[in-house]
């Protein structure tokens, strides 16, 4: 690859769509219902909306938007915990920018900052560690957030803090794991999926082997996909090819980035610093066993949950917000009753409207045609 334009070629996209249509015509299932293909990663959701890929595909394919945005699945109670830590005297609370406006039950981190808490946006956990070096008299907390994609950088920062003897740095760990999440979705009784677009960034760290249960036990194909338009279209073609041939395998379309065996140094750092939690609470999905990690006892002095008192209370989402249904793929974003009216990027009710990778935010920005139809229908009803 020399230029991104190589993966945005209009003619090649049209050729792929024609091949997808041919495969759909030969699959018996499409005569009775659409094939439901879930893109797990929020980055894929963003690409699908940005480039209008959903509108290019035949009606025989229904794209289902999954829970692959870590900001979006953060439960409201964990945001309250962040705010509680940030409001402690002498604390500098650091976070990635897309977590600043996620609503808690009382306020977001952005609102806590406006109220006087020292909340700062950083681009990496190493930025937070640098702040700890510059402010030895204050406690610097990094909001550890994300799937296996971001786990290694947080783990390596903890190891660096230990090596440098920095004691005023800690991590509020909310890192989550992808495999139990996919299993929970497959076990959901109200959703039938025919295949998966596998997450490219996560797979860059963990490889493709952890997904084998999807093919061997659940008999569903998965293709680990890149994020450019041709990546996504080719991956959908690969899924349909498997279905048409009666196969269920884990394939890797994103070979230019994703190694089959994963990234050994990254995995070693994760294993050294973290251990699995018994369960972790997800927004919209409930409690999922072994779906999150916590800091090991050996690194307890870098664990903000042990350094500070946090409420740790489960808080239900607002009843009007249907983030849970969208996360599980039961609803499309524009089908939520508050989408684009009470819930917008400027005034989000749910996390899916906050993060750029959230399905609602992506659809709000790029899904103008269907959003207009939805708003017109809502106006007609009222």
Answer whether residue 343 shows pLDDT above 60.
Answer: yes
pLDDT over 60 (residue 10): yes
Question: Which has more confidence, 382 or 209?
Answer: 209
Summarize the confidence of residues 373-378 as an average pLDDT.
43
What is the pLDDT confidence band of residue 368, given thresholds at 50, 70 and 90?
low
- Exposed / middle / buried, residue 9 (Cβ in 10 Å: 0-12, 13-18, 19+): middle
Domains of the chain: residue spans and CATH = 4-69+179-252 (3.40.50.11750), 76-176+292-307 (3.40.50.11740), 323-381 (no CATH)
pLDDT of residue 374: 42
Q: What is the CA radius of gyration of the chain?
A: 21
3-state SS assignment for residue 126: helix
pLDDT above 90 as % of the chain: 64
- Residue-wise pLDDT tens digits, 271-287: 999 999 998 988 777 88
- Per DSSP, which regions of 91-230 are E strands? 91-95, 118-121, 139-146, 169-175, 195-198, 222-224
Q: The tokens of 55 are what?
A: 């509108």
What mean pLDDT do residues 171-178 have?
A: 95
Beta strands in the chain (DSSP E): 35-41, 61-68, 91-95, 118-121, 139-146, 169-175, 195-198, 222-224, 250-252, 274-276, 279-282, 286-289, 293-295
Per the confidence metrics, is the pTM higher than 0.95?
A: no
């Amino acid at each position: 690859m020399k230029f991104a334009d190589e993966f945005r070629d209009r003619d090649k996209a049209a050729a792929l769509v024609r091949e997808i249509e041919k495969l759909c015509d030969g699959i018996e299932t499409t005569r009775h219902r659409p094939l439901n293909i879930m893109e797990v990663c929020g980055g894929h959701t963003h690409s699908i909306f940005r480039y209008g890929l959903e509108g290019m595909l035949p009606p025989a394919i229904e794209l289902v938007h999954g829970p692959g945005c870590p900001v979006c699945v953060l439960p409201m109670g964990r945001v309250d915990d962040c705010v509680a830590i940030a409001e402690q005297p002498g604390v500098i609370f650091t976070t990635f920018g897309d977590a600043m406006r996620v609503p808690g039950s009382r306020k977001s981190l952005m609102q806590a900052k406006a109220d006087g808490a020292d909340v700062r946006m950083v681009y990496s956990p190493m930025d937070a560690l640098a702040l700890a070096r510059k402010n030895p008299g204050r406690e610097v907390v990094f909001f550890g957030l994300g799937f296996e994609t971001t786990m290694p950088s947080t783990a390596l920062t903890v190891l660096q803090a230990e090596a440098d003897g920095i004691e005023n740095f800690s991590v509020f760990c909310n890192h989550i794991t992808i495999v139990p999440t996919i299993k929970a979705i497959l076990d959901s009784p109200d959703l039938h999926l025919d295949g998966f677009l596998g997450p490219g960034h996560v797979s860059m760290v963990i490889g493709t082997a952890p997904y084998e249960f999807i093919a061997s036990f659940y008999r569903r194909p998965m293709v680990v996909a890149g994020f450019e338009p041709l990546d996504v279209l080719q991956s959908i073609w690969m899924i349909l090819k498997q279905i048409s041939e009666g196969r269920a395998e884990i394939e890797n379309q994103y070979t230019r980035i994703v190694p089959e065996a994963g990234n050994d140094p990254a995995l070693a750092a994760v294993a050294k610093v973290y251990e699995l939690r018994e369960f972790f609470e997800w927004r919209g999905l409930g409690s999922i066993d072994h779906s999150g990690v916590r800091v090991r006892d050996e690194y307890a002095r870098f664990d903000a949950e042990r350094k500070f008192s946090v409420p740790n209370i489960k808080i239900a989402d607002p009843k009007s917000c249907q983030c849970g249904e969208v996360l599980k793929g039961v609803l499309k974003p524009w089908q939520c009753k508050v989408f684009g009216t009470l819930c917008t990027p400027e005034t989000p009710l749910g996390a899916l409207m906050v993060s750029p990778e959230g399905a609602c935010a992506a659809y709000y920005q790029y899904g103008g045609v269907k959003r207009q139809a939805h708003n017109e229908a809502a106006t007609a009803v009222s």
